[in-house]
Structure 1
Amino acid sequence: MGDGQSAAEVLSAELATLRARAGNPSFRKMAGQSGQISHTTLHEAVRGTRFPSWDTTREFVRACDADEQEWRRRWEELKGVPPEPEPAAVEPVVITSEPAVPALEKRRRPRRKYALAAVAFVVVLLAAVAAFVVPKLNRASLVDVGARVPGDNSKFLADVTVPDGTVIHVGETVQKVWELQNTGSAIWHQRYLQRMDLPPSPGSCRTPDRVLIGDTPPGDHVMVSVPLTASAAPGKCWIGWKMVDANGAEFFSTRRPVYVLVTVVS
């Protein structure tokens, strides 16, 4: 990289140049055109703090009407994706005639075969017993992690904006942003963060009921943003949010929510 720049910094600068050539569309407009990823994730791609995933880069490029294949090659070049290995050479198999076996050895072979069969039978029997007994012994100790989709998992990483205890004034509007990571094996698609206190009580801070989470492959990070308007009277404002589907069903029923906590002053 030139001048000691990291791969993330180089790619972010090139993406920023691409966006400028496309007329500097807003990140919200790009996210709307994509329909697959949030505007905060697109904005993160040009900050240069971490190397964006190909899914994020692809949606950025598509929103700027650029050549996706050309940018895929550039992304792989900066990412350092190794070329596919050459198939290993296959050694020719030489078939030879079976050597002569002494008569005594031939008589011993059946005994060895029966002994191996007996051992195999015992192993299968023990496995069957374990499969029947062990689940009964461990059933009481199984832990329900609350994941509705097998292999699904999530991790809260940071309050990007409006850290806990931030002081805001009556009626003031701020933009709360959380950073989350998909640490499971399921792709996040058509997921939302939804307020837990619906319908909100009168006089509480105002937000949308729910906000869309951009499509997030396993291992990727996503920025989720929600506008928050302070209540009309001073006090503490705490709002919890859970990940749900389009019907409002939670994905992680037993997990702690992400939340916003502010102090409202006059």
Structure 2
Amino acid sequence: MREAAQADGSGQRGRRPARPDPAAGPVEAFADRLWRLKLEAGDPSFTEMSSQLGAAASKSSLAAAAQGRTLASWGTTWEFVRVLAVDRLGHDAAETEREWHELWRRTKALAELGDTGLPGAVAETGRAEAVPGPVVGVPQAVEDAPAEAEAVVPAAGFEGESAGAVTAPQVVPGRRPRLNTVGLVTVAALAVLVAVAGGVAFFSEERPVRKPPAAQPTIQVDDSVFEGDITYPDGTLVRRGESFEKVWRIRNTGTVEWEGRFLMRANDAICDAPDRVEIPRTRPGESVDLRVRVRAPRKSGKCRIYWKMVDGQGRTFFPGKRPIFLDVRVG
């Protein structure tokens, strides 16, 4: 049987990836939602999404996200969604990022729990509906059995017991225990002492000092702004085999200090460049120059490489912002 073929934007035709079954599980349902977005945006090829539309992810990563075998990272998912929903369909970037990130987070939680009972709800609405069943970690309510009213008094107050003896309370059904004289006197004396002590404390207590209201915690904001290309502006012609340094300048416009952060390469290209570059420590309000060493290939062509800011574990900062990129011609 002949496989269905699809042009990938490079002049070659290949096998069209099979569309996932949304009823197979939450990951497949999420991938099917990506497929529907792709169709709504005109069904561009994954090569076109990665090159012409500017997704900061390789065409293989985009294709894998839509196949639904595993859940793609949020960074890859957002680049898939951004170029289609925001750049091509004109949806609001902030609202789109919030909606899809919540859907991705729910899908990830369902996949980790092994819950395959809600793929339809996830695919259609993005929400996981409540499932009847026991709640883990919450004990079931137990009805208290009715108990007979019985009189229980301390051991020291029962008749016939020596002073100071401590025994278990005696319960006599149908009979009200009686306190002896010593017990009544003792209880009365204690009540008087408590009342006197309370009165003394009341009249001698100083008026409490009212404390000033606690200071509200400062909200931390992590943000950046691109200030420009310092070297090799977009469209610059470089010689074949040439080594050069690309420099961008960005400013820390938030209240969080940048430390332990890196630029992570997000796609493949004909140029040779490192996968990760350290970002110098940058305080709020400061600008920083980001430098990457690049080597042009021995053949002519177009070189475009995207980088995103990440931490030491590869977690992406500013997912709603476009990545910085190198865009030169080699000839």
| TM-score with structure 1 setting the length | 0.42
Higher relative contact order (CA 8 A, sep 6+): 1
Larger Rg, first or second structure (1 or 2): 2
Higher helix proportion (structure 1 or 2) = 1
| TM-score with structure 2 setting the length | 0.34
